[in-house]
Structure 1
Amino acid sequence: MAPLKVLWQTWGLFAALAYRTAPAKFTLVQNPPSIPTLLVAHLACLLRNTSLCIDWHNFGHSILALKLGPRHPLVQISEKYEYAVSRSAPVNFTVTDAMARILREQYGRQNVVPLYDRPPTHFQPCRSEEARKSGFDALSKRLGWPDENGPTRVLVSSTSWTADEDFSILLDALAGYSVVAASRNLPTILAVITGKGPQKDYYLSRIAAMESEKKLEHVRIRTAWLSMQDYASLLSYADLGVSLHMSSSGVDLPMKVVDMFGAGLPVVGWSQFEAWPELVKEGVNGKGFGSSTELKELLLDLFTRREELAKLKEGALKECEKRWDDEWDEKAGKIFV
């Protein structure tokens, strides 16, 4: 049944692009997904004399390599497929300068325009401390979370619970923070984890085991699947965001950090990939880490030195002034005129 489903979806995509969609001068396709999207879009553009434009958010073969390994024949075929089909695109957008460089140097593409992701307008900062507290209390009550007693810092991480995000890094860091907090009377961390994915049940069972072993005495973990509006509100109420995105290609960026900046939320994140500095300015709007120990030290530092967290907050608020409409109009809008 699976092959038939793929064929049916391929035909549905082709019919939508080649027949049901009104003729246009350009067709803009996001990559990934690469297979069969790029080939179907390429054929539809040939049929309708339309220019194919590719919006590169990552490389499909690098994501496939997470599951199969970089030397697997299917991964190598996928890479050649992306290279061959994308040759027909006269315009290529990328989410980073590093990705644009790879397209130019390794793929031989010339017309490559870095087009950074920027937050949509529904992500907005909450600038009043009192409004942040009352807003979070109201959201917690609506979601059925128990009240927290004593000093609390709200940490938010959005995850897809997949292999390209090692959630154990955050759990180990929180456990390490809890040990130190017990001896130094530090604030309790309320860690709110949003998202769905294949590894969620595994990590929920691990969290339950750590709680029963009293490894998270000064940490409270809440998981939630929120509406877009509630998620945007949560980011504006929180004290710190955490990104565990490791980048399969090394040259893509986590959209979740863009959303956090849109809400004026400073970020700490896994920084061991090339494109990270294009989004997060170290010590200005966030900080990077390369291990659970480094993340633990960042949490201890930022939740005990309020002036340092306030400095990052100021940088995140400046970052939230950059919006998608401005980025599009400046770089892409003139191409499609």
Structure 2
Amino acid sequence: MGITAYDVVLTLFLLFSLFFFFVVVTLPSQYDPYHPEFITEENFTEDDKKDDSKSGYGYFSKNFDGERRLKVDVSVQVVVLGDVGRSPRMQYHALSIAGLGGRVDLVGHVESEVHPDIRANRLINIVPIAPLPERLRTDSKLLYILVAPLKVLWQSWALYHALGYRSGPSKWMLVQTPPAIPTLAIAAFLCSVRNTRLAIDWHNFGSSLLALRLSPWHPLVKIAQLYERFFARSAKTHFCVTDAMARVLKRQYGVEAKSLHDRPAAHLQPLDESERKEVLRRLPETAQYADELDKKAWRLIVSPTSWTPDENFDLLLDALVSYSAACSVTLAKQLPKILAIITGKGPQKQMYLDKIGALNQQKKLQNVVVTTAWLSTADYAALLGAADLGVSLHTSSSGVDLPMKVVDMFGAGLPMVGWSKFEAWPELVKEGVNGRGFGSADELSALLERLFGGDGELARMREGARSECGRRWDEEWAPVAGKVLRLVK
């Protein structure tokens, strides 16, 4: 007797039923507002009690109830589908939430140093996402199209597992985007299943970054734009980094976003002259040039980067070549030599290291030393405080985001120059007061010559940068995100 259509339908129905049963049974647990969490004395060690400002014990000791318990009214999964250590804004979110008694699961890849205050805080739990296999990482455009689906599948499962099974249910899920794919889809699904409220923190648009790899007219870019618009509407609330981005989100995505501008964190502080000298002699990258930097015979510039396509380092290298040539011209006014330190990690680093090596071999950087560094949080802050000038090469794929590195510079009282040909630039930089903009390598070279060989403009810009130190991250965060999350009234 042969297999009938009825047998096939029955088999498919049974398989589907088993799959559906498996999915339902294994769904992550729900957030239950009627069964609150509590923090108790047992959550803290004796060392935590000694350093109570960083461990969270200080907040606990001031707010526990008659049974020495702290009721957790707000719990948040802070989600980064990237390296947590290279996501300072999301780390600051976590610290601000914990600082007001909220419990945080900080979910992301742990590839570099995390802010030490996060490690110390007992209200913050770091949940690592399984890393992407090396064979799925590529910078090739052709291979990217082939590998991208596999990469998305891997990231989807790794993120789903970390959020759904390695961290408990929370009242809120605060998600960084980009990357939007697959982050927003996974977050939206889990929030609907777990009775969790979704908040999206827009740093840029993933579709605009994808357009740098492919082209603005590529079908995948169009699909990415539709994807972002669709899942944007699944969130209960939105934050973004600029007013310009809020306008785009309202006009093109149909959502209302609250502008939450980046502000410097407390560990970024200006240095006095004695502190600056100590830093210059302590850091390996500056130690051998410390005496010349003290005498202003050399000047120190710092350019933080993620070594990604939206930062054009050819601009800086071309400008430094022109500056080096200007230093060698006999009739030119005396110009100091430059020590340029480029900090950070990223995919294009080796490509630019090769270019720097070639320029040195061609003797085009005789009056300039270019070096790279990956620094701890404390040493990075110290380097910014000791530098003479910061350089931002962020070109903004969308035109409406801003580089947090500039905020870091202002927190350390460091004046800066940066690529300024995008809409949101004036929201951060006051031209001639705390920084200067440029739109080409020639303009950047001319700025370096003017500021380092000029009549005090750099000193005036430093005063302008120091004035930006007054308003810090927590002061910006509390009246915006703090109110939305119901951590402040």
Amino acid of the structure 1 residue aligned with 2:218: H
> What's the C-alpha RMSD, in Å, of the aligned pairs?
1.9
Matched, 1:117 2:266: no
**1:319 paired residue among 449, 460, 468:** 468
**1:51 paired residue among 192, 197, 210:** 197
The answer (yes or no) to whether the contact 1:140–1:146 under 8 Å persists in 2 is no
The answer (yes or no) to whether the contact 1:289–1:295 under 8 Å persists in 2 is yes
Matched, 1:13 2:159: yes
Measured at CA, do residues 4 and 175 of structure 1 come closer, stay the same or move farther in structure 2, by a change above 3 Å? Answer: closer
Give the whole-Å Cα distance in 1 for the aligned partners of 2:368 and 2:473. Answer: 35
- The offset of 1:218, in angstroms, is 1.5
- The offset of 1:51, in angstroms, is 1.7
- The offset of 1:8, in angstroms, is 4.4
Amino acid of the structure 2 residue aligned with 1:32: P
SS at match of 1:88: coil
Amino acid of the structure 2 residue aligned with 1:121: A
Matched, 1:41 2:187: yes
Give the whole-Å Cα distance in 1 for the aligned partners of 2:357 and 2:391. Answer: 21
Give the whole-Å Cα distance in 2 for the aligned partners of 1:235 and 1:108. Answer: 39
TM-score, with structure 2 as normaliser? 0.65
1:303 aligned residue: 452
2:273 aligned residue: 129
**2:283 paired residue among 130, 133, 139:** 139
SS at match of 1:288: strand
**2:344 paired residue among 184, 192, 195:** 195
- Point out where structure 2 has 5 or more consecutive residues left out of the alignment: 1-134, 137-148
**2:392 paired residue among 235, 243, 246:** 243
Measured at CA, do residues 292 and 18 of structure 1 come closer, stay the same or move farther in structure 2, by a change above 3 Å? Answer: same
- The offset of 1:160, in angstroms, is 2.1
The answer to which structure, 1 or 2, has the higher relative contact order (CA under 8 A, 6+ apart) is 1
* Segment drifting more, 238-247 vs 166-175: 166-175
Superposed counterparts of 1:256-295, under 5 Å:
256-295=405-444
Give the whole-Å Cα distance in 2 for the aligned partners of 1:18 and 1:216. Answer: 52
Structure with the greater alpha carbon radius of gyration = 2
2:46 aligned residue: none
Amino-acid identity (%): 59
Matched, 1:178 2:178: no
**1:160 paired residue among 299, 306, 315:** 306
Equivalent residue pairs, number: 334
* Segment drifting more, 321-330 vs 92-101: 321-330
Matched, 1:30 2:176: yes
Q: Deviations over 1:137-189 (max 9, x none)?
A: 22137x77566646111000112222211111111111111122223321111
The answer (yes or no) to whether the contact 2:277–2:290 under 8 Å persists in 1 is no
Matched, 1:221 2:370: yes
Give the whole-Å Cα distance in 1 for the aligned partners of 2:334 and 2:162. Answer: 60
SS at match of 1:106: helix
Matched, 1:104 2:253: no
Measured at CA, do residues 11 and 162 of structure 1 come closer, stay the same or move farther in structure 2, by a change above 3 Å? Answer: closer
1:333 aligned residue: 482
Measured at CA, do residues 147 and 308 of structure 1 come closer, stay the same or move farther in structure 2, by a change above 3 Å? Answer: closer
Amino acid of the structure 1 residue aligned with 2:205: F
- The offset of 1:199, in angstroms, is 2.3
- The offset of 1:204, in angstroms, is 1.9
1:67 aligned residue: 213
